[in-house]
A and B are shown apart, each in its own frame.
Chain A
C-alpha cells in the first residue's frame, strides 16, 4: 500500500496516537516514492524553470547583405607562406569585421554543450588557369605525351576562432580541435585533417576532360568552370573540461589550399599552396552565425 494512498480523515473517524503516527511514518519508508506518488501526478511545465535546457541562443550576421551580388566583398588568396593573418569576414570594409560577441562574456560550464552553426554565400574568381599552377595538377600519361590534369581539389578553408581572454577581443585563437594551418608539412604549411575539426572546405573550380579517345588525352578537350555563387556552411560543438568564458567567435578564411601528405605513410593534410594565389580571389556576401548552448546534465 502506497503511503499517499492512505484514506483521508473524515468526520466520525477516531484519531489515536497510532493513526497519527502512521500518517507521518508513511514518509519514512524506503523505496516508497514510486509512480503512484510522483509519476502519475505528472511533472509538467509549471514545475520546470526556464532556461534550464537551452540557456543561451544568439544569431549574428556575417559578411554583407547583398542578395543579388551587386558589390560583394572580395579578397585575394594569401601569397606568403606561412601566411601572416587569415582573412576575417567583414561587411565591405576591413574596419568593420563581422563576428559574434557575447556581452559580458558567455560562460559555458562543464554541464553545457556549445553548438555553433554558420553559413556564407561565396564565389570563386579565377584568372590565368590557376588549376594548372603550383600543386593543383597531376601529369598523366598520354599516348603521345604527358598531359597535365587538374585535381580540382584546390580550395579555400574557413574555420572558427574564439577569444577567451578578454572583452577587448584582441586575442583570437583557434577553437579546440582546430589548427592554424601553420604546421610544417615538408616544405609547405598546413593542418593534418585531425586538426581541421572546425574547418569548412570551399571548392574553387571543376576541371574535366571531354572526348577522351581510348585513353589518348591529347585528343581531348579540357573544360574548366570556376565555382559560382552558392551557400556554404559549417558546424562545431564544444563541451569544455572546465568552465569557459567566451567573448567573441569568428570565421576566418585562407587559400589556396590543396591536399597533401609529407611522405608516404604520413597523415593526410591540407596545405597552403601559394603559387596560384595571385590568380584566385574569393567573393562573399552574407551569412549567419548561430550560437546555442544546451545544458546536458
Chain B
C-alpha cells in the first residue's frame, strides 16, 4: 500500500513529538515492505549493470558481480592446443597423487567475496598416442593399458583438492604406427577409442576470506603424448 502519512500538521497548532514520530514510524514500515507497483517509475531504470559491477577479466573470461561469478574459457580451435604426457607426469603408473600436473590454461584463479557454492563444468577431447614404446616393469603399463586422465581440482591437486572418483580416461591408440608410408597411426583413433569427448561437473563450497583459489583441470598420463585438441571450462559461483 502506498504511503499515507498518519498525521497532517496545521499552522497555529502545537507540534507534538508523537505525531512526528508517528509519521516517521509509518514511513519506516512503508519503506521496508509497503512500496507497491504504482510507486515505482513506470519505465525501466534498473538493469544488470546496476546490480552487478561491470568487472570482467578477459583472460579468464570471468565476470564478477554482486551475486557471484560466471564465465568460461575454451580452447579456441587449435590456438590453445594442450598436451598431456607421461614425461611431465612422471611415468607414474602406480605412483602417488603427486604426479598430477595442471593442464595448461585451464585454471581459473578466483577470489570469492562471500561463502560460495561453485559448479565447474569441463570438457575435453583428446587423442591418446599412439604410444608403442615398450613397457618398463614397475614404471609404465603395457602398451594397450595406458591411459591419460583428466580431473577437476579446487585449490590443490592432492586429495584435499581432487577426488579420485572424478578422473576420466582417454585410451592409448595401442596399435602403434604404420611401418610404411604414410607412417601415421596404424588404426583410426575413432576405432581405438583414442578419441572422444569427456565431460564432468565439479561441485565445491568455498569460504570467503581464503586466498585466491585456483580451480581447473589437472592431468596424469601413462601415454607419452596425448593431445587435448578441444577443451572448455565454465564456472558458476553462487554467493546467494
Asked if A and B bind, the verdict is yes
Q: Using CB atoms and an 8 Å cutoff, list the residues of chain A in contact with chain B.
A: 15-18, 20-21, 24-25, 27-35, 38-39, 42-45, 48-54, 57-59, 61-63, 65, 67-68, 117, 119, 121, 206, 208, 223, 225, 227-231, 233, 235, 286-288, 290, 292
Q: Which size bracket describes the interface of B in this complex?
A: 35 or more
- A24, B198: Cα distance in complex, Å: 63
Nearest Cβ on chain A to B70's Cβ, whole angstroms:
12
The answer to whether A225 and B193 touch across the interface, beta carbons within 8 angstroms, is: yes
Nearest Cβ on chain A to B63's Cβ, whole angstroms:
15
Q: Does chain A have a CB within 8 A of B8?
A: yes
The answer to whether B167 and A33 touch across the interface, beta carbons within 8 angstroms, is: no
In the complex, the number of residue pairs spanning A and B with C-beta atoms less than 8 Å apart equals 168
Q: Knowing A230-B193, A231-B198, say if A288 contacts B166 (CB, 8 Å).
A: yes
- A25, B94: Cα distance in complex, Å: 78
Q: Does chain A have a CB within 8 A of B192?
A: yes
For residue B238, which residue of chain A has the nearest CB? A54
Nearest Cβ on chain B to A5's Cβ, whole angstroms:
14
The answer to whether B165 and A31 touch across the interface, beta carbons within 8 angstroms, is: no
For residue A65, which residue of chain B has the nearest CB? B164
Q: Knowing A27-B3, A35-B45, A231-B168, say if A21 contacts B38 (CB, 8 Å).
A: no
The answer to whether B50 and A288 touch across the interface, beta carbons within 8 angstroms, is: no
Nearest Cβ on chain B to A126's Cβ, whole angstroms:
13
- CB-CB under 8 A from B23, the residues of chain A are 24
Nearest Cβ on chain B to A260's Cβ, whole angstroms:
24
- 4 tightest Cβ-Cβ pairs between the two chains A and B: A231-B168, A54-B238, A117-B201, A286-B165
For residue B169, which residue of chain A has the nearest CB? A229
Q: Does chain A have a CB within 8 A of B203?
A: yes
Nearest Cβ on chain A to B160's Cβ, whole angstroms:
15
For the complex with contacts A117-B203, A119-B199, A288-B202, 12 further pairs of A-B residues with Cβ separation under 8 Å are A21-B9, A28-B4, A31-B39, A33-B40, A42-B51, A53-B238, A119-B166, A121-B168, A206-B190, A228-B192, A286-B166, A287-B166
- CB-CB under 8 A from B67, the residues of chain A are 48, 53
A-B contact pairs, 14 of them (CB 8 A): A17-B9, A17-B10, A20-B20, A24-B23, A27-B27, A31-B40, A33-B39, A34-B45, A53-B240, A67-B167, A68-B94, A230-B196, A231-B167, A233-B199
Q: A48, A121, A286: which contacts B240 (Cβ < 8 A)?
A: A48
The answer to whether A34 and B40 touch across the interface, beta carbons within 8 angstroms, is: yes
Q: Does chain A have a CB within 8 A of B114?
A: yes
Q: Knowing A54-B117, A68-B94, A287-B165, say if A31 contacts B38 (CB, 8 Å).
A: yes
Q: Does chain A have a CB within 8 A of B42?
A: yes
Q: Does chain A have a CB within 8 A of B113?
A: yes
- CB-CB under 8 A from B200, the residues of chain A are 117, 119, 231, 233, 288
- CB-CB under 8 A from B40, the residues of chain A are 31, 33-34
- CB-CB under 8 A from B153, the residues of chain A are none
- Chain B 117-132 residues near chain A, CB threshold 8 A: 117, 119
- CB-CB under 8 A from B190, the residues of chain A are 206
For residue A56, which residue of chain B has the nearest CB? B117
- CB-CB under 8 A from B11, the residues of chain A are 16-18
Q: Knowing A48-B66, A230-B196, say if A28 contacts B164 (CB, 8 Å).
A: no
- A21, B171: Cα distance in complex, Å: 80
The answer to whether B117 and A57 touch across the interface, beta carbons within 8 angstroms, is: yes
- CB-CB under 8 A from A233, the residues of chain B are 198-201
- A21, B6: Cα distance in complex, Å: 11
Q: Knowing A43-B51, A52-B240, say if A30 contacts B38 (CB, 8 Å).
A: yes
Q: B38, B119, B165, B204: which contacts A62 (Cβ < 8 A)?
A: B165
- A119, B27: Cα distance in complex, Å: 55
B40-66: contact bitstring with A at CB < 8 Å (1 yes, 0 no)? 111001100011000000000000001
Q: Knowing A33-B39, A54-B117, A57-B117, say if A225 contacts B240 (CB, 8 Å).
A: no
The answer to whether B171 and A230 touch across the interface, beta carbons within 8 angstroms, is: yes
- CB-CB under 8 A from A206, the residues of chain B are 190-191, 193
The answer to whether A39 and B50 touch across the interface, beta carbons within 8 angstroms, is: yes
- CB-CB under 8 A from B204, the residues of chain A are 59
B137-171: contact bitstring with A at CB < 8 Å (1 yes, 0 no)? 00000000001010000000000000111111111
Nearest Cβ on chain A to B17's Cβ, whole angstroms:
12
The answer to whether A39 and B45 touch across the interface, beta carbons within 8 angstroms, is: yes
The answer to whether B238 and A65 touch across the interface, beta carbons within 8 angstroms, is: no
Q: Does chain A have a CB within 8 A of B115?
A: yes
The answer to whether A67 and B115 touch across the interface, beta carbons within 8 angstroms, is: no
- A294, B46: Cα distance in complex, Å: 23
